[in-house]
Amino acid sequence: MANKILLRGTVAVAALGMTLLAPSTSSATTTYETLNEVWTNNRDGQAVFKPRGEHLYACDWALDGDTIVAYARANGKVVAKAVDTNGYPDPCGHDDFSLPEGTPVEIKVCHKEDGYCTGWKKVQDA
Q: How far apart are alpha carbons 16 and 81 in whole angstroms?
A: 48
Report yes or no: 44 and 61 within 8 Å, Cβ to Cβ.
yes
User: What are the pLDDT digits (tens) for 36-86?
Assistant: 999 998 889 999 999 999 999 999 999 888 999 999 999 999 999 999 998
Taking the whole predicted model, whether its pTM rises above 0.95 is answered as no
For residue 25, name the pLDDT band (cuts at 50, 70, 90): very low
The third-level CATH classification (topology) of the domain covering 37-123 is Immunoglobulin-like (2.60.40)
Would you list the domain boundaries of the chain?
37-123
